[in-house]
Chains A and B, each alone.
Chain A
Amino acid sequence: MRIGIACPYSWDVPGGVQSHIRDLAEALIELGHEVSVIAPADEDRPLPDYVVPTGKAMPVPYNGSVARLSFGPLSVSKVRRWLRDGDFDVLHVHEPTVPSLPLLACWVAAGPIVATVHTAMPKSRILLASQPVLRTALEKIDGRIAVSEAARSTFVEHLGGDAVLIPNGVAVHRYRQARPLDGWPGDGGAIGFLGRMDESRKGLAVLLQAFELLAVDRPDLRLLIAGPGDAGEQRHKLPAPLRERAVFLDEVSEEDKVRVLHSVDVFCSPNTGGESFGIVTAEAMAAGVAIVASDIPAFRQVLRDGRAGELFAVGDPADLARAAARLLDDPGRRAQLSAAALDAVADYDWGVVARNVLSVYETVVLGRTTVSIT
């Protein structure tokens, strides 16, 4: 099939949607299909062959923060040209409710359109109602995919139709092997955390408190924390003697992220909520590190009710400490969980996900002509 994919956000900025599109495109290409991705991207920077850049995205306030999007007459004409030259069998747009290329593609395209929604849309029914052009564009969508239950509600509430649930994939092969960071995990053991330090829902505070409890009996146990946020502020939450045992890395590259996962004995997902799938946890599973995670629905599902990872009571540092201690002291149990996790994460491998997406394409393409412009 000839597949045209539209990306709303800057290709060169790290982001969940962009990684998803990249992995999907590469998995589809691997399966023998022709894929073209249109995305806001600087034309002068190196890009994969399948990406068609439309120029740098523009920072603009949207939905309460600054977003980098592509809109306006220039973007519209670039989208038109891409569709006209592409002769795609199907157009796959991502986050069509965001004011960027995918929405524009819906607007100008005629033909089979599949849309994937990644986030739950904020309550703005009024907004939709006041924008007839928006409604018209979105009504053209034939096939709907949601990566989580929360995102699915967007479709049901705002776009009038149910969606197929296909969670984000994990490119398992990328996580299997990596060289640990120098000096890690170390003889005393190490617990790892990936994510936004300052966002309370990510649960770093719970881990820090649990570390205080664990550190009493384990003089060499260390924490490895990577992600955006104020490391100084977080470090000060620990009592002074423990501070040097917590190593804080800033936001790390994809490559280093994998290395971090291979640098610890136990990986911790202490999220207190708001997690629709838990991609970070799934990545840890693909890396084969033993996992201890809070018992929120997303993790319970991905960790197969505790068979692929230890679950602890949400927000409970004592319970986390207990669960982590159990794993730190029992390498056999860690190996067992690691194997179970690798088995479980195979369901989320991009090869599997891409085939699921293809079935959606095949459904909407039946009896239709290729995508053209209105």
Chain B
Amino acid sequence: MTWTIVVLSVLVLVLFSFWVSWRASRLDRLHNRVEAARTALDLALVRRASAASELASSGVLDPATSLLLADAVRRARQASAGERDLAESDLTRALRATVSEPGFRKELAENVGATELVDEVEAAAHQVFIARKFYNDVAGRTIDDRRRFLVRVLRLWGSAKQPEFFDMDDALVDSDSLG
């Protein structure tokens, strides 16, 4: 009888350690994906700021619009980690108030160089939208995984920090003006 118990116990232990190992490496992969998605998001934000900055200093816009965009870009670039989301949201709002306004493109229609710059800004803004979606998605899955009972109890994430959602206003068009 004792033998059976011993064998069964060993079996359970072995299976358990396989499971733990599998969970831990799965969690590890998730954390890596979070890092990659975060890098992609940061790059997209930088690209957007860059494109906006180019448009602002191109001289094709009126000085007030140029100044507004340049100011928003500067703040987004200089924002500390804690204020990043706010500064980037402000850049979105500045873009919405300028580039997304009806009549903006029309005014620049004859200037081919200008239209290209505007296209770049809009493309970069769209990339931010997508990158953030992907990042928040994988961050959410990682957070959920970390909440599982045994994962928590055994602290399978080791030294990896809990990812945070990145909340910002990145809507390209004012929702009020839709439809």
A residues with a Cβ closer than 8 A to B are: 58-64, 69-76, 99-101, 103-104, 106-107, 124, 126-127, 130-134, 136-137
Known: A127-B71, A133-B62, A134-B66. 17 other contacts (CB 8 A): A60-B68, A60-B93, A62-B68, A62-B71, A71-B62, A72-B65, A75-B62, A99-B67, A99-B68, A101-B64, A103-B64, A107-B62, A130-B57, A131-B67, A133-B59, A133-B63, A133-B66
CB <8 Å contact, B93 and A104: no
- Chain A residues positioned under 8 Å from B56 (CB to CB): 130-131
- Chain B residues positioned under 8 Å from A64 (CB to CB): 75
Please indicate which of the listed interface residues A73, A100, A127 has the most CB atoms of chain B within 10 Å of its own CB.
A73
Q: Contacting A58 at CB < 8 Å: which of B74, B97, B106?
A: B97
Q: Contacting A74 at CB < 8 Å: which of B66, B71, B93, B103?
A: B103
B70 interface contact, C-beta 8 A = yes
- Chain A residues positioned under 8 Å from B67 (CB to CB): 99, 103, 127, 131, 134
Roughly how many angstroms separate A154 CA and B97 CA in the complex, as a whole number? Answer: 27
CB distance from B86 to the nearest CB of A (A): 9
Roughly how many angstroms separate A62 CA and B66 CA in the complex, as a whole number? Answer: 12
Roughly how many angstroms separate A62 CA and B68 CA in the complex, as a whole number? Answer: 6
7 A-B interface contacts by CB (under 8 A): A59-B97, A71-B98, A72-B104, A76-B62, A99-B68, A131-B56, A137-B63
CB <8 Å contact, B94 and A61: yes
Closest residue of A by beta carbon distance from B57: A130
B101 interface contact, C-beta 8 A = yes
Report B36-66 residues with CB < 8 Å from chain A CB. 53, 56-57, 59, 61-66
Roughly how many angstroms separate A99 CA and B66 CA in the complex, as a whole number? Answer: 8
CB <8 Å contact, A103 and B74: no
CB <8 Å contact, B61 and A133: yes
- Chain B residues positioned under 8 Å from A127 (CB to CB): 67, 70-71, 74
- Chain B residues positioned under 8 Å from A75 (CB to CB): 62, 64
- Chain A residues positioned under 8 Å from B57 (CB to CB): 130-132
CB distance from B98 to the nearest CB of A (A): 7
Report B97-115 residues with CB < 8 Å from chain A CB. 97-98, 101, 103-104, 106-107
- Chain B residues positioned under 8 Å from A73 (CB to CB): 62, 103-104, 106-107
In this complex, the interface size class of chain B, counting residues with CB under 8 Å from chain A, is 20 to 34
CB <8 Å contact, B71 and A72: no
CB distance from B83 to the nearest CB of A (A): 11
CB <8 Å contact, A61 and B62: no
Roughly how many angstroms separate A131 CA and B65 CA in the complex, as a whole number? Answer: 11
CB <8 Å contact, A69 and B64: yes
Q: A71-B64, A134-B66 are in contact. Are A61 and B59 (CB under 8 A)?
A: no
Closest residue of B by beta carbon distance from A60: B97
CB <8 Å contact, B103 and A61: no
B90 interface contact, C-beta 8 A = yes
- Chain B residues positioned under 8 Å from A76 (CB to CB): 62
Roughly how many angstroms separate A127 CA and B78 CA in the complex, as a whole number? Answer: 13
Roughly how many angstroms separate A286 CA and B17 CA in the complex, as a whole number? Answer: 85
- Chain B residues positioned under 8 Å from A133 (CB to CB): 59, 61-63, 66
CB distance from B54 to the nearest CB of A (A): 11
B72 interface contact, C-beta 8 A = yes
Please indicate which of the listed interface residues B59, B70, B107 has the most CB atoms of chain A within 10 Å of its own CB.
B70
Roughly how many angstroms separate A60 CA and B169 CA in the complex, as a whole number? Answer: 14
CB <8 Å contact, B63 and A104: yes
Q: Contacting B90 at CB < 8 Å: which of A61, A72, A130?
A: A61
CB distance from B1 to the nearest CB of A (A): 74
CB <8 Å contact, B65 and A99: yes
- Chain A residues positioned under 8 Å from B107 (CB to CB): 73
CB <8 Å contact, A131 and B62: no
CB <8 Å contact, B63 and A72: no
- Chain A residues positioned under 8 Å from B98 (CB to CB): 60, 71-72
- Chain B residues positioned under 8 Å from A62 (CB to CB): 68, 71-72, 94
CB distance from A372 to the nearest CB of B (A): 18
| In the A-B complex, the 10 residue pairs with the closest CB atoms | A71-B64, A99-B64, A61-B90, A73-B107, A99-B67, A60-B97, A133-B63, A99-B68, A134-B63, A137-B63
